[in-house]
Structure 1
Amino acid sequence: MSQDLDTMIREMREGVPAGRVPARIFNDREVFERELTRVFGKAWCFLAHETEIPKPGDYVTRYIANNNIIVARDEKGEVHAHLNMCRHRGNMMCKSEMGNASHFRCSYHGWVYKNSGELIGVPYFNEAYDKKLDRKQFGLVKVRVDSYAGLIFGTLDPDAESLEDYLGGFQFYLDIYLKQGVNGSEVHGPPDHWVAETDWKICTENFSGDGYHTPVAHQFGFHLGYFPSSGSTHSKGWAVHIPGKGHGIGLGHTPGMQPFFGYPDDLVKQMHESLSPKQLEVFSKTRTAVGSVFPNLSFLIQPLSLEPGDPGVRFCTMRLYHPVGPGRMEMWSWCLVPKDASDEYKKAAYQAYTLAFGQAGTFEQDDFENWTKVTKMTGSTLARDVDFPYIQGLEREPLTDFPGPGYAVEPYVTEDNFRNLWATWARYMEGE
């Protein structure tokens, strides 16, 4: 008989330092329902990129767990986030995923709200309410927001630590995705999103630096010359995580490659202005930067070459794994480009992103084929009592001279980041 959820999580916290993680966490209704309140109800979760709502009145609708959120820029340029629900009877206020509006009007009884959340219009206010309804008490339900380098995050917990403390130094690594140009990055094209029969945590783990799967799951990339590395050099690099925070990144190297290969010269020049000397020391050597912000936001930069020996073009994908049920999620995927890059580079980067990690991307198909099968198998009755070994690099000592913050080890192929991820997840699930 399977153990109850509290026992499983307690034993998981004890087992993770020794490299044991229960298979059950990847496809279980009890786990999913607790995640909604314990993880997504407490963590800082990505909502949107500022360049998706550049003008006053622009908005998008996004999710934190099962909460549909309007993210809008008001007439003064300030960003707000509110539950997409009328305070009168709970109707969905905004039925479009994106648009521009100064006000939102409920299609049920006609209550009207400013895009900053205030209730300003109530039909029959005099006749039905005798002018006694206090409209100030019935604005849209506010979601606390903060941002870093264009990323807008929200938290459902009014007592959560600041976003700066939550990121805990991982900003150092986010800058490789967000500060490639002196004026930062922007979303290029609309986001792709689709539903998949897989668990969000499998994706977060993979993008926390799973270099181990690449030569197997994506071996065609080596055979066809899409990668500037080979199976023998692929493991070179660093894995870094922020202890206790759950954030992790894998930084793969290819020995002998030119610094910042795959970037045009004008962007390399800009990075020397936008990044610190320590960041330049780390990122100039980096072939692949694949990282996750706990709980469900990930990034990947890598070069893609269509000719063997060609350094190719660098592209950046930003990805969000929105849970919609046990073993089921909605995938959101964006292409990020430097704002100041040439139109030619932006077009080439977007094409590379689409080919590799768009909805029908070659690498995307490899991953989801595996992730859906993992989810299916871990949801079986026999799998509920199975543990997986997370023992790669278990006895490895951290580097003492690494330029960046956090716990860094080499080589890049290891499970240190994953043990930190699961220890953090288990702590949230216990309510700490």
Structure 2
Amino acid sequence: MPNNWKFAAENFAGDGYHNISHRSVDMVGIGPSGLGRRDNAEYKEGRRINVSFPREGHAAVVELFPPETPQVATYQNREDVGEYFRMMESERRRRLDGKTNLLGVVGTLFPNMSYLARQPRSIAVWHPRGPNLTEAWRWFLVDKDTPEEVKDVLRHYYIRYSGPGGMTEQDDMENWNYAHKASRGAIARRKPYNYQMGIGHLANDVELPGVLTEGICEENARGFYSGWVKMMDAPSNGH
């Protein structure tokens, strides 16, 4: 991809306001229930919390639900696949045993490993190939004991969603490429990016580690770059 690797890493760290760029994909309905690119209905009743670890540079986005929140049907195009995920969700909740119901969304482990926590579950590594080029490696995760018919549905879904041929991933790569190109302009180089959104709006009532904010906020990006600055300013080999 013709962009700096930090665009992708920052995006997965908690960029919650770029989703409008996927509007055309949502309208096509590539998700396994035909409701958009993913079955985002399962997040509808959640409380979005951004989790930042500025000392290390890690960041994540999660959704919190009360323990009694009803299950949301996903993978409705195939009854057998839908039943499998209903069973797995019931088991997950049983193991929570009344604890806060937390669903992961996205995150970045500093500096360059990112993940999607729900379907399509994946791990990505953004390899810098110079300041203006990134090589992306992506692994897609399926439980070993998943029935073969479910694996087949997930495989086709992942291909539609991610990778160079994936509709959503093409949108992301286009965003990063344009943002990178715009950042190299004469005026853009004179001015710093503005990362002030959500300063001071902490979610102090949530019992999770890290710096916590709610909703659309740039705290995670600030934390990611705090880790980056700390690494860049660190002495090299004791000098």
Give, in whole Å, the separation in 2 of the partners of 1:254 and 1:203.
28
Which AA in structure 2 matches 1:298?
S
Residue 299 of structure 1 is matched in structure 2 by 115
Give, in whole Å, the separation in 1 of the partners of 2:25 and 2:70.
20
In structure 1, the gaps of 5 or more residues are: 1-195, 303-313
* Alignment of 1:405 onto 2:226: no
* Deviation, structure 1 residue 300: 0.9
Larger radius of gyration: 1
Give, in whole Å, the separation in 1 of the partners of 2:6 and 2:193.
14
Give, in whole Å, the separation in 2 of the partners of 1:363 and 1:234.
23
Residue 200 of structure 2 is matched in structure 1 by 395
Residue 170 of structure 2 is matched in structure 1 by 365
Question: Per the alignment, in what secondary structure is the counterpart of residue 409 of structure 1?
Answer: strand
Question: Per the alignment, in what secondary structure is the counterpart of residue 282 of structure 1?
Answer: strand
Q: 206, 230, 235: which is aligned to 2:11?
A: 206
Which AA in structure 2 matches 1:297?
M
CA contact (8 A) 1:228 1:254 kept: no
Task: Count residues in correspondence.
Answer: 216
Give, in whole Å, the separation in 1 of the partners of 2:65 and 2:16.
13
Answer 1 or 2: higher relative contact order, Cα 8 Å, separation at least 6. Answer: 2
Question: Per the alignment, in what secondary structure is the counterpart of residue 189 of structure 2?
Answer: helix
Identify the structure with the greater helix proportion.
2
- Relative to structure 1, the CA distance from residue 205 to residue 405 in structure 2 (aligned partners, 3 Å threshold; closer, same or farther) is same
CA contact (8 A) 2:73 2:86 kept: no
Q: How does the TM-score come out when normalised to structure 2?
A: 0.78
* Deviation, structure 1 residue 359: 2.0
In structure 2, the gaps of 5 or more residues are: 30-34, 75-83
CA contact (8 A) 2:54 2:222 kept: no
* Deviation, structure 1 residue 380: 2.9
* Deviation, structure 1 residue 388: 1.1
Question: Per the alignment, in what secondary structure is the counterpart of residue 360 of structure 1?
Answer: coil
* 1:313-328 matched pairs, under 5 angstroms: 314-328=119-133
Which AA in structure 2 matches 1:292?
T
Give, in whole Å, the separation in 2 of the partners of 1:257 and 1:211.
23
Residue 352 of structure 1 is matched in structure 2 by 157
* 1:220-239 matched pairs, under 5 angstroms: 220-223=24-27, 224=29, 225-226=35-36, 227-229=38-40, 237-239=48-50
CA contact (8 A) 1:238 1:251 kept: yes
- Relative to structure 1, the CA distance from residue 229 to residue 341 in structure 2 (aligned partners, 3 Å threshold; closer, same or farther) is closer
Which AA in structure 1 matches 2:214?
E
* 1:90-109 matched pairs, under 5 angstroms: none
Give, in whole Å, the separation in 2 of the partners of 1:237 and 1:198.
29
Residue 248 of structure 1 is matched in structure 2 by 59
Q: How does the TM-score come out when normalised to structure 1?
A: 0.45
Deviations 1:14-52 (A, max 9, x none): xxxxxxxxxxxxxxxxxxxxxxxxxxxxxxxxxxxxxxx
Give, in whole Å, the separation in 2 of the partners of 1:382 and 1:208.
27
* Deviation, structure 1 residue 271: 2.9
Question: Per the alignment, in what secondary structure is the counterpart of residue 245 of structure 1?
Answer: coil
Moved more, 220-229 or 269-278: 269-278
Q: 316, 319, 337: which is aligned to 2:142?
A: 337
CA contact (8 A) 2:14 2:220 kept: yes
Which AA in structure 2 matches 1:429?
M
Percent identical residues: 29
CA contact (8 A) 1:229 1:254 kept: no
Which AA in structure 2 matches 1:265?
R
* Deviation, structure 1 residue 242: 2.0
* Alignment of 1:265 onto 2:70: no
Give, in whole Å, the separation in 1 of the partners of 2:69 and 2:218.
26
- Relative to structure 1, the CA distance from residue 352 to residue 200 in structure 2 (aligned partners, 3 Å threshold; closer, same or farther) is same
Which AA in structure 2 matches 1:217?
S
Give, in whole Å, the separation in 2 of the partners of 1:218 and 1:235.
21
Residue 220 of structure 2 is matched in structure 1 by 417
CA contact (8 A) 2:202 2:211 kept: no
Give, in whole Å, the separation in 2 of the partners of 1:219 and 1:320.
26
Which AA in structure 1 matches 2:161?
A
